[in-house]
Amino acid sequence: MNKRKNHRPMSVITMGCRVNQFETELLRHGGYERGFFIAKDGDKSALIIVNTCSVTSESDRQARQAVRRAAKDNPQAKIVITGCYAQRTPEILSKLPQVALVLGNQEKNELWTHVDRLFSSSSELEDNNSSAIVSGKGQAIIHVGDIAKLDRVPPRPVVDSFSDRARAFLQLQDGCDRSCTYCLIPGVRGPSRSLTPDQIMAQAEGFVAAGYKELVLTGIDLGSYGQDLSPIISLGGIIKKLVDIHGLGRIRLSSIDPLDVDCELIDLLASEEKICPYLHLSIQSGDNMILKRMGRRADRKQIIARIKDIKKARPQTVFGADLIVGFPTESDEAFQNSLTLVKEAQLVFLHIFRYSDRPGTPASAIPGSFRSSGVEVKKRSEILRSAGEANLLVVAKTMLGLRDKVLIETINDGVGMGKIASFIPVSFAVNGGEIVGELREILLQEFDSDNGCLKGVVQELSTALST
């Protein structure tokens, strides 16, 4: 039941990782409870929430651009900015047009308390929260606390839906204890903190009860899940609990460090059909010296060995990867080592980041003379992207003639789109029995190289795989 009689239109802009996407869904539900609703395309919003990312300087630029565009399109709206960019440089964001409130990552959990004040009398806008920075009256209010002091994930409501999504993201943990030399995320997300198994199971069961067949497990450093809890529980341990949820079709892991795919997880991949045979590995480079300068845990030999172990346990596993191009001191030889790794490990879905200095990180102090030119970095990025596409063609062709489950994501003009368990997109003709969000059996018939997807035929409902 809505708490307010006067409904107000709102817009929510989400940038960055899947953790942000999950947290944005929590924010949406808080708004629904207070009478806000998502504005339709073309309509004006009274409130705009921007949940920012700051993983690269391009992420920062896109956030500023999104705020300016939102202000221009909604001249009467109050804009609230939160997320990692807000945590890092709230003063800069507070000066953007129509920004009324800037909240840090921890403070976003109290966003609706602050919004209630924004929409009440102006005399209520002042706050004396001593743990946060608070701007003066007549300016954007800033609440950004010291996230490094956090020791837990605050209690969160259970939500039962994701806007316009066929799958649901399930957050397991927040923060990171690693010290990669290029990354500022530990400084804006805080130390690694895990949700309890009870919190996770309640949220997962809520999603499944609402009809979601696929859960995507997310976290800032997913592989560290449970190490801060008492008693300690591993990522594999919580997955063992999740697979027993009645009605759950499959579980997908988001980005994970290769060394965190331990023996327990590998055994689960081999024995539990519900766990998708797709892993997106946080690799970053295929060159040992660059990996060392990045402060990464795994070297090239360890990465390749772990991929081989996984393939041996579950041969149909497909791999994606995060890769950074143009890290300071990356030579032509170092880049070739990354390219060779992509080919040798047959990595398909590549998230390629062009190196971006992050203020205060060790890597940002490396002199400019050790940097590759922008032109060269762009060229290297395209070479890696082409290698990933070539690998996808090879991998996809091995699946022709096989049957798999497709999670239906969209249906438009008689054509359905979705992804099979290995994350490869599939298109198919709709025969009338398909529903977005359902898992259906599909016969894979050909690969459309122009669109990077398989084509298949959805089987009759009577022959669909049980979910």
Say whether both 60 and 137 belong to one domain.
Answer: yes
Q: What is the pLDDT of residues 302-331, one digit of tens each?
A: 999 999 999 999 999 999 999 999 999 999
Q: What is the value of pTM for the model shown? A: 0.90
Distance CA 348, CA 339 (A): 12
Distance CA 327, CA 285 (A): 9
Say whether both 414 and 369 belong to one domain.
Answer: no
Asked if the structure places residue 162 within a domain, the reply is no
Asked if the structure places residue 53 within a domain, the reply is yes
Asked if the structure places residue 154 within a domain, the reply is no
Q: Other CB atoms closer than 10 Å to residue 266's CB: what's the count?
A: 18
Say whether both 260 and 366 belong to one domain.
Answer: yes
Q: Counting beta carbons within 10 angstroms of the beta carbon of residue 361, is it exposed (0 to 12), middle (13 to 18) or buried (19 or more)?
A: middle
Say whether both 310 and 433 belong to one domain.
Answer: no
| Average pLDDT value over all residues in the chain | 91
Say whether both 108 and 126 belong to one domain.
Answer: yes
Q: Which element (helix H / strand E) includes 50?
A: strand 47-52
Lowest mean pLDDT among 40-54, 142-156, 277-291: 142-156
**pLDDT value of residue 168:** 94
Share of the chain above pLDDT 90, in %: 83
Asked if the structure places residue 151 within a domain, the reply is no
Q: Positive or negative CA dihedral for 424, 425, 431, 433?
A: positive
Give the model's confidence band at 160: pLDDT under 50 very low, under 70 low, under 90 confident, else very high.
Answer: confident
Total domain count, the chain: 3
Distance CA 19, CA 254 (A): 10
Say whether both 228 and 335 belong to one domain.
Answer: yes
Cβ neighbors of 11 (< 8 A, separation 6 or more) are 38, 39, 45, 47, 48, 49, 70, 74, 77
Judge whether 188 and 55 are in contact, CB under 8 Å. no
Q: Counting beta carbons within 10 angstroms of the beta carbon of residue 69, is it exposed (0 to 12), middle (13 to 18) or buried (19 or more)?
A: exposed
Distance CA 400, CA 409 (A): 21
Say whether both 387 and 412 belong to one domain.
Answer: no
Judge whether 51 and 85 are in contact, CB under 8 Å. no
Distance CA 201, CA 197 (A): 6
Which of 381, 397, 413 is the endpoint of a domain? Answer: 397
Which of 81, 110, 145 is the endpoint of a domain? Answer: 145
Asked if the structure places residue 304 within a domain, the reply is yes
Say whether both 130 and 181 belong to one domain.
Answer: no
**pLDDT value of residue 461:** 56
Say whether both 209 and 277 belong to one domain.
Answer: yes
Beta bridge partners of 319: 279, 347
Residue numbers of the domain that contains 135: 8-145
**pLDDT value of residue 174:** 94
